[in-house]
């Protein structure tokens, strides 16, 4: 069996780790000096995709068909619309296979918040979402930490490829049941505590949204205003946390695809104090859909730390979990979070992590 690789996208390049003789070591480094905004490992054809986001040169997209021996630049999306529009691409946040059984079919999420359908060469703006009334008429899509809203999560339902979920910061979760022809806001039960009306249909800030493959009606969400679960394919959301609990505010989330009740989060102190809660880096796990949370932090530092984990910095495959911090520390657990080891403390800020 081929060893797992951990793809770590940092603010200074892509670093790939592989296990050798019981230790995790660096196998390769690519795009040295450039910030990596997205990593997509296409299991249909084993191609690797990497997006870069540079303040001077802008967004770039690359593909390798031979496991990193050669990288080819790929044209990035452009905002060609029926109506005159001055929007320009700032960053590629996410790629996802559009059809699990057909190569060269992709969904791509960007900043500013837009969805593109791609064949790997040409990218078509999904105008049904771009022209959604909540964005155009109601103007309820807005920037959070940056100036622009961005689309960072794409879920293609394992049972039906025409059912698609996307998450936008800040706008919320949207679902299409017809392959992207139309979209409905799916934010019932979410609380946008930072708005005068916290129960708006759009204007929410999901940080990460994931779907169970074992029970596809179950979706998990780490939101700006707490941890939520939906058991009806996004029609309604239930809050699982509160501000008095440490697992409440944060950016990242990972779930067990075979157990819809199990999830892991790594919290931050608060929106105002984006540091580890009480300066303690901790992982929390639930096995009962958030009714209770237990610390799964053995092996993590006990001394004060300022590390937090960004939205794409946490991943899981089978019993292997890994996360990277804003301070360039990489932690790995090979027993489902029971114990953690520090694999590297010499990396740049970790923006994206993917286990393959």
d(CA 277, CA 267): 7
What are residue 227's DSSP bridge partners?
A: 222
| Residue 284 pLDDT grade (very low, low, confident, very high; cuts 50, 70, 90) | very high
pLDDT(187) > 90: yes
pLDDT tens digit sequence for 136-168: 999 999 987 768 999 999 999 999 999 999 999
Query: Left (φ > 0), alpha (ψ -120 to 50) or beta: where does 234 sit?
Result: left
Give, rounded to a whole angstrom, the gap between the first and last alpha carbons of the chain.
Answer: 13
With 0-12 / 13-18 / 19 or more C-beta atoms within 10 angstroms meaning exposed / middle / buried, residue 258 is exposed
At 39 the pLDDT is 98
Residues 65-106: tens digit of each pLDDT: 999 999 999 999 999 877 767 789 999 999 999 999 999 999
Banded pLDDT at 2 (limits 50, 70, 90): low
Separation CA 194–CA 223 (nearest Å): 12
pLDDT for 303 equals: 96
Q: Are 114 and 129 in contact (CB under 8 A)?
A: yes
pLDDT-based confidence at residue 315 (cuts at 50, 70, 90)? very high
- The residue-averaged pLDDT of 204-230 equals 97
pLDDT above 90 covers a percentage of the chain that reads: 92
Spatial distance between the Cα atoms of 8 and 350, rounded to a whole number of angstroms: 7
Average pLDDT, the chain: 95
Q: How far apart are CA 67 and CA 64, in angstroms?
A: 6
Residue 83 confidence (pLDDT): 72
Supply the pLDDT for residue 56.
87
pLDDT bucket at 1, cuts 50 / 70 / 90: very low
What is the β-pairing status of strands 13-20 and 5-10? Answer: antiparallel
pTM confidence score = 0.96
User: CA separation (Å) from 282 to 83, 272, 296?
Assistant: 48, 19, 7
For 163-173, the pLDDT digits (tens) are 999 999 999 99
In this structure, the strands spanning 226-230 and 164-169 are unpaired
Phi, psi of 216 (to 5 degrees): -70, -10
**Three-state secondary structure call for residue 68:** coil
CB burial readout 145-172, b (16+ within 10 A) else e: eeebbbbbbbbbbeeebebbbbbbbbbb
**Mean pLDDT computed over 221-237:** 98
- For the beta sheet containing 91-97, the strands, ordered from the edge strand earlier in sequence to the opposite edge, are 91-97, 106-111, 114-118, 123-125
């Amino acid at each position: 069996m081929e060893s797992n690789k951990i793809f770590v996208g940092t603010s200074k390049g892509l670093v790939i780790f592989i296990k050798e003789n019981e230790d995790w070591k660096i196998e390769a480094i690519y795009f040295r000096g450039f910030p990596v905004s997205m990593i997509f490992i296409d299991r249909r054809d084993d191609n690797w995709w990497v997006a870069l986001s540079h303040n001077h040169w802008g967004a770039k997209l690359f593909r390798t068909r031979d496991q990193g021996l050669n990288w080819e630049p790929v044209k990035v999306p452009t905002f060609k619309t029926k109506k005159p529009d001055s929007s320009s691409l700032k960053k590629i946040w996410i790629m996802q296979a559009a059809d699990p059984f057909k190569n060269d079919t992709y969904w791509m999420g960007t900043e500013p918040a837009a969805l593109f359908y791609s064949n790997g060469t040409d990218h078509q703006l999904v105008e049904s979402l771009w022209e959604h009334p909540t964005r155009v008429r109601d103007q309820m899509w807005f920037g959070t930490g940056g100036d622009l809203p961005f689309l960072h999560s794409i879920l293609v339902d394992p049972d039906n490829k025409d059912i698609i979920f996307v998450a936008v910061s800040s706008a919320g979760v949207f679902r299409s049941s017809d392959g992207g022809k139309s979209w409905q806001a799916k934010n019932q039960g979410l609380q946008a505590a930072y708005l005068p009306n916290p129960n708006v249909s759009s204007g929410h800030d999901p940080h990460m949204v994931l779907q169970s493959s074992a029970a596809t009606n179950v979706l998990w969400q780490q939101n700006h205003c707490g941890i939520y679960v939906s058991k009806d394919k996004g029609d309604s959301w239930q809050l699982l946390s509160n501000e008095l609990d440490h697992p409440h505010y944060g950016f990242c989330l990972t779930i067990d695809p075979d157990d819809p009740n199990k999830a892991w989060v790594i919290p931050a102190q608060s929106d105002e104090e984006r540091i580890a809660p009480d300066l303690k880096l901790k992982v929390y796990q639930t096995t009962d859909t958030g009714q209770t949370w237990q610390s799964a932090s053995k092996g993590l530092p006990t001394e004060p730390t300022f590390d937090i984990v960004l939205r794409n910095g946490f991943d899981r495959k089978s019993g292997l979990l890994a996360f990277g911090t804003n301070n360039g520390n990489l932690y790995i657990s090979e027993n489902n979070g029971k114990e953690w080891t520090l694999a590297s403390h010499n990396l740049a800020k970790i923006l994206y992590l993917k286990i393959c």
